[in-house]
Amino acid sequence: MIEVKGLSKKFDSGYVLKDIDLQIEDGEIYGIIGANGSGKSTFLNILNGKDTIVKTGGYEGDIFIDGEKVRILDHQHSVSHGISMVHQELALFPGMRAVDNIKINHENVKWELPVIPELSRLDEKKNLEDAKTALERIGTELDPVRNIDNLSLNQKQFVEIARELDHQNIRLLMLDEPTSSLNITETEKLLSCVQEIASRGISVIFVSHRLEEIEKICHRVSVFRDGRLISTYKKADFDLNRFAEDMVGQKIVKAARERRQLSEETILEYRCRDDDGNTLTIKKGEILGITGLAGQGQEQFLAGLFGLAKTNYTTSFKGEMLKDGDTHGLIGKGIYYISENRGVDSLLLDSSIWENMIFGTEGKHQDFLSLSRIPGLSFLKRDRIRSYTEQMIEKLNIVCADPQQPVRELSGGNQQKVCIGRALTFEPELLGIGEPTRGIDIYSKELILNWILKMNQEMNTTVVVVSGELEELMRICDRIAVMYQGKIHRIFNTGVSPEELSLALYGKAAS
Amino acid sequence: MKHIKNNLVPVCIFLLAVISFYFADVSGKYLASEIYTRFIRNALFVLALILPISCGMGINFAIVVGAISAQMAIVFAIDLMLEGPAALLFTMSVSIFLSIVFGLMVAALLNRAKGREMIVSIMIGQLSSVLYQFVFMVAFGLIITPHNEAILLDRGIGVRSMIDAKNISSVIDGIFPFQLDGKTYSLFPLIIIAVFALLLFYIQRSRLGVLAKAVGKNIHTADVLGLKTNKIRSLCIVISTIFAAMSQILYVTDFGTVNVYTGHIGMDTNAAAAILVGGATLKGASMKNCFLGLILFHALFITSPMAGQNLFQNPSVGEYFRSFLAYGVIIIALIMNLKTEKKKASFA
């Protein structure tokens, strides 16, 4: 039996996991669900002895294995206690054989050299036997000498599970979104494999966004939210609607935006390349939210248009087809995008606030230039820019020393305000924002959301917000589009219930 | 056809070498003897590059550090007036010891510069060269007490730039002699190279070989799975440095004199060019690449100046050809590399 008591993890910004208590019986499949950022990964990382935990001061609380208290100090330590993990993103080495991937870091050697064990001779025969056994245990007749590159996704997933099962003393197998990249038949196969593993007395922690899988194979389920364990259900009490409610919280709707008549004029239209009926039209003057679980393709729209992500959609602006990645042309047309990776795509971190506030806006703001006829060779009107920046700093409530301060030194929230400031300087007709409130404190969140509303109302800017924060989207958006498996799944008007919205995230409708 | 496409660099260089050989107007025997000399002088340098490439660190230009270890050991042996096999044994052990120490230092630096190992290794090579020159130019006679006055400059401080290394070169002279193009050569260095090649063959198939390959394929995954990536990388660099040191010893024994201040310079570039000519990429290299590259590169290196001279009736053009070759080949092979990598990435 594996038990955790009062498990907590604190980063500089505060607790991301607080007082988790749970017990997992031998041979039990224990499901953990929760929204993004609810602390699931942190929980798994603690048990797995990940560097992200170890190098940031470790964890608080206790872990017991069969009643014996253990302290997980690093990854090797976790493995030595029989804890294994299959990662969401395949942790396999391309270009190497399946057997090398399975036996990596616990190879059989013929003779062990004392000082440099790395130079020991491999026992190829025994390694192959072990790999074959491990693969057979999960019902795969895969030849272990095959190169990983030639395997299907499903087979790769099995190789990864085989690697973890090959640890001699395995007690607990943790699976993080193991089915996120598999199709239905592959998923079925994997699920029955997990059940088979559990039937041999190995405990399994199963993390998935796909609630139907949780429902199917788990014996118990815990819901995490904001780093806390909210509820635990036994198999008899499983109820998808209650899961969803616990995941997003009761107080999901704070202040729903008043329902209003949308303009009929289409400003932007997306059309799916391989599904002509799958379109998304954005009306002039609306605020549209785009959401979805991680990796469902919500980045295809504006990030895709600006060449920052792969997209399967074509875009037309007021009837005119747009070219993906033509940033200069897009900005010229009045389309502007603030990326979710602010520090990488939207800010010059080592430049000052004023530079970040105005770069690229010279075409729009000739009053910043002393020789506006030759903008490319013109000096900047420093006084004018300084007073403009000071005005913006005050307006947006940016906490900083002065306009000269490098943006890198500002907090995440203030950096986002600088982005908003530049968007305001551009006065775009259409503004796209990716994850506007990611990593931002509650106070600044409200400020940023307010500014989005304000731009929309006062400047009549059409806004597209791509975000995983359902609660915020419901407050500010006129409509919310939900993405599922790379395509638009549903589009909701304001007033949608949180349950309906969270079920749509999983490609389901409320019953 | 597909085979040619996959080995575009070696095939192109081979054609160039054939053309160059034709215009150089030299005998096949002459070419063979020259290639043999260069092969034994450089083979281990090129082999030294394999492990760092397979563990994802690119070309280890810091093999210069290994060459420096060997140069130091040789000068110390001469200074102690050691002779014969004792001198060779002393040189080898001291240079291995120094290679381990310096190799660990290099590895510590490179582990702090992940993703930029190549440029950092170039700089380490340059810096260590300067530090090394300081030791023999200034410290020898001033801080270190010399035993052999004959190697000192007349002012009593600093070592002469050329020192006779007969004490170690004489050891191998008589072993397994054979005649080629009217000159006598020894097979012994070739045996040593074979021994080290076998050693490398073993290392590639040991645990380290598999771990290094894994780290090279994806260091992030290696970290996730709890591999000791820094230790694995350090081991590869230390082994690479030792190989380079052994190579420098072979070079000096073959050459017969030590070029104290410049003997180690340029070894890294030539070795890099040779391995790339052999078809290695910055992400994968095999012994086949090494040996093929050594022969092709040096065939071209030997014949191109003469071909240039004959074609243009101008000796300086010939010399120009040679420098163009060493650096040009690196750049061209790198560009071809990047192209194939990009192609692969776009398919993924």
**Tens of pLDDT, residues A210-241:** 777 888 899 999 998 878 898 899 988 888 87
Which of chain A's residues have a Cβ under 8 Å away from the Cβ of B230? none
| Among the partner residues A74, A91, A117, nearest to B224 by beta-carbon distance | A91
Q: Is the pLDDT of residue B23 over 80?
A: yes
Question: Residue A114: what pLDDT?
Answer: 83
Chain B nearest CA to A118, separation (Å): 5
Which of chain A's residues have a Cβ under 8 Å away from the Cβ of B227? 104-105
B207/A119 Cβ within 8 A: yes
Strand-strand pairing, A287-291 and A462-466: parallel
Hey, which residues 107-126 in chain A have their CB within 8 Å of chain B? 107, 109, 116-122
Report the alpha-carbon distance of residue A315 to residue A271 in Å, rounded: 7
Taking the Cβ of residue B214 and every Cβ of chain A, the question of whether any pair is shorter than 8 Å is answered with: yes
Cβ-Cβ pairs closer than 8 A, A with B, add up to 67
pLDDT bracket for residue B347 (50, 70, 90): very low
Tokens linked to A323? 């070219």
Taking the Cβ of residue A74 and every Cβ of chain B, the question of whether any pair is shorter than 8 Å is answered with: yes
Residue from B51, B201, B210 whose CB has the most chain A CBs within 10 Å, to mutate: B210
Asked if residue B168 is part of any domain, the answer here is yes
B225/A121 Cβ within 8 A: no
B340-346 long-range contacts (CB < 8 A, ≥24 apart) are B340/B281, B341/B281, B341/B283
Specify the residue for token string 């599970």: A161
Which of chain A's residues have a Cβ under 8 Å away from the Cβ of B235? 116, 118-119
Which of chain A's residues have a Cβ under 8 Å away from the Cβ of B214? 93, 96, 100, 104
From the centroid of its chain, how far is CA A479? 22
Chain B nearest CA to A49, separation (Å): 9
pLDDT bracket for residue A511 (50, 70, 90): low
Taking the Cβ of residue B175 and every Cβ of chain A, the question of whether any pair is shorter than 8 Å is answered with: no
Question: Residue A426: what pLDDT?
Answer: 87
Question: Residue A439: what pLDDT?
Answer: 63
Asked if residue B31 is part of any domain, the answer here is yes
What are the tens digits of pLDDT across the range A124-174? 999 999 999 988 888 788 899 999 988 877 788 889 989 988 887 888 999
What are the tens digits of pLDDT across the range A287-331? 999 988 767 888 788 888 888 888 888 888 888 888 888 888 888
Query: What average pLDDT does chain B have?
Result: 88
Question: Residue B313: what pLDDT?
Answer: 83
Question: Residue A165: what pLDDT?
Answer: 85
Domain with CATH 3.40.50.300 in chain A: 1-82+170-252, 266-505
Q: Is the pLDDT of residue B304 over 80?
A: yes
DSSP 3-state of A348: coil
DSSP 3-state of A313: strand
In total, how many domains does chain B have? 1
Report the alpha-carbon distance of residue A479 to residue A256 in Å, rounded: 12
Which of chain A's residues have a Cβ under 8 Å away from the Cβ of B205? 121-122
**CATH number of the domain bearing residue B43:** 1.10.3470
A92/B210 Cβ within 8 A: no
Chain B nearest CA to A95, separation (Å): 8
B183 CB burial (10 A radius; 0-12, 13-18, 19+): exposed
Question: Residue B171: what pLDDT?
Answer: 83
pLDDT bracket for residue A440 (50, 70, 90): low
Question: Residue A172: what pLDDT?
Answer: 92
Question: Residue A263: what pLDDT?
Answer: 79
Question: Residue B87: what pLDDT?
Answer: 92
Which of chain A's residues have a Cβ under 8 Å away from the Cβ of B211? 104-105, 118
Least confident of A8-22, A239-253, A470-484: A239-253
Tokens linked to B30? 């002459």
Which has the closest alpha carbon to A102: A123, A131, A126, A125?
A131
The answer to whether A242 touches A511, Cβ cutoff 8 Å, is no
CA atoms within 13 A on the CB side of B172: 24
Provide mean pLDDT across the span A198-221: 88
Taking the Cβ of residue B341 and every Cβ of chain A, the question of whether any pair is shorter than 8 Å is answered with: no
Phi-psi map region of A456: left, alpha, beta (phi>0 left; psi -120 to 50 alpha): alpha
B235/A116 Cβ within 8 A: yes
| Among the partner residues B202, B207, B225, nearest to A91 by beta-carbon distance | B225
| Among the partner residues B203, B221, B223, nearest to A51 by beta-carbon distance | B223
Amino acid (1-letter code) at residue A397 = N
A252-255 long-range contacts (CB < 8 A, ≥24 apart) are A252/A470, A252/A471, A252/A474, A252/A498, A253/A471, A253/A474, A253/A475, A253/A498, A254/A471, A254/A475, A255/A475
Provide mean pLDDT across the span B272-281: 88
Asked if residue B299 is part of any domain, the answer here is yes
Provide mean pLDDT across the span A113-120: 86
Asked if residue B346 is part of any domain, the answer here is no
A118/B206 Cβ within 8 A: yes
Which of chain A's residues have a Cβ under 8 Å away from the Cβ of B206? 118-122
Q: Is the pLDDT of residue B62 over 90?
A: yes
Residue from A85, A119, A127 whose CB has the most chain B CBs within 10 Å, to mutate: A119
Residue A202 to residues A22, A164, A168, A172, B33: CA-CA distances in angstroms? 17, 12, 12, 6, 67
Which has the closest alpha carbon to B241: B341, B124, B153, B133?
B124
| Among the partner residues B205, B221, B223, nearest to A93 by beta-carbon distance | B221
Which of chain B's residues have a Cβ under 8 Å away from the Cβ of A96? 210, 213-214, 217
B202/A93 Cβ within 8 A: no
Least confident of A56-60, A200-204, A291-295, B132-136: A291-295
- Give the homologous superfamily in CATH for domain A266-505: P-loop containing nucleotide triphosphate hydrolases (3.40.50.300)
More confident residue, B122 or A274: B122
Taking the Cβ of residue A178 and every Cβ of chain B, the question of whether any pair is shorter than 8 Å is answered with: no
Taking the Cβ of residue A248 and every Cβ of chain B, the question of whether any pair is shorter than 8 Å is answered with: no
Q: Please give the share of chain A, as a percent, with pLDDT higher than 70.
A: 93
More confident residue, A307 or A353: A353
Residue from B225, B281, B286 whose CB has the most chain A CBs within 10 Å, to mutate: B225
A95/B206 Cβ within 8 A: no
What are the tens digits of pLDDT across the range B212-254? 999 999 888 898 888 889 999 999 999 999 999 999 999 999 8
Least confident of A44-53, A175-184, B102-111, B307-316: A175-184
Which of chain B's residues have a Cβ under 8 Å away from the Cβ of A118? 206-208, 211, 231-232, 235
Question: Residue B344: what pLDDT?
Answer: 57
Question: Residue A443: what pLDDT?
Answer: 60
What are the tens digits of pLDDT across the range B159-216? 998 998 888 888 887 788 888 888 888 899 999 999 999 999 999 999 999 999 999 9
Domain membership of residue B244 as a residue range: 8-339
Least confident of A266-270, B40-44, B87-91, B123-127: A266-270
Chain A nearest CA to B117, separation (Å): 21
pLDDT bracket for residue B155 (50, 70, 90): confident
The answer to whether B58 touches B329, Cβ cutoff 8 Å, is no
Which has the closest alpha carbon to A368: A382, A350, A353, A387?
A382
Least confident of A421-425, B99-103, B139-143: B139-143
Question: Residue A441: what pLDDT?
Answer: 58
Query: Which residue on chain A is closest to B231 by alpha carbon?
Result: A118
| Among the partner residues B210, B224, B231, nearest to A122 by beta-carbon distance | B210
Taking the Cβ of residue A105 and every Cβ of chain B, the question of whether any pair is shorter than 8 Å is answered with: yes
Report the alpha-carbon distance of residue A499 to residue B92 in Å, rounded: 75
Which of chain B's residues have a Cβ under 8 Å away from the Cβ of A84? none
Q: Please give the share of chain A, as a percent, with pLDDT higher than 90.
A: 21
pTM of the model: 0.73
Q: What is the ipTM of this complex?
A: 0.83
Query: Which residue on chain A is closest to B227 by alpha carbon?
Result: A105
Q: Please give the share of chain B, as a percent, with pLDDT higher than 70.
A: 97
Taking the Cβ of residue B232 and every Cβ of chain A, the question of whether any pair is shorter than 8 Å is answered with: yes
Asked if residue B14 is part of any domain, the answer here is yes
Q: Is the pLDDT of residue B289 over 80?
A: yes
Q: Is the pLDDT of residue A256 over 60?
A: no
Question: Residue A254: what pLDDT?
Answer: 44
| Among the partner residues A49, A105, A119, nearest to B203 by beta-carbon distance | A119
Report the alpha-carbon distance of residue A16 to residue A219 in Å, rounded: 26
Taking the Cβ of residue B208 and every Cβ of chain A, the question of whether any pair is shorter than 8 Å is answered with: yes
Kindly give, in sequence order, each residue whose CB lies less than 8 Å from that of residue B201, ignoring residues fewer than 6 positions away.
Answer: B287
Amino acid (1-letter code) at residue A13 = S
Asked if residue B174 is part of any domain, the answer here is yes
Query: Which residue on chain A is closest to B228 by alpha carbon?
Result: A105
What are the tens digits of pLDDT across the range A59-83? 999 999 988 899 988 888 888 888 9
Provide mean pLDDT across the span B255-280: 90
More confident residue, B27 or A444: B27
A121/B214 Cβ within 8 A: no
> 1.10.10.10, 3.30.1490.190, 3.40.50.300, 3.30.565.10: which CATH number matches A1-82+170-252?
3.40.50.300
Q: Is the pLDDT of residue B340 over 70?
A: no
Query: What average pLDDT does chain A have?
Result: 84
B210/A104 Cβ within 8 A: yes
More confident residue, A204 or A457: A204
Which of chain B's residues have a Cβ under 8 Å away from the Cβ of A117? 207
B223/A119 Cβ within 8 A: no
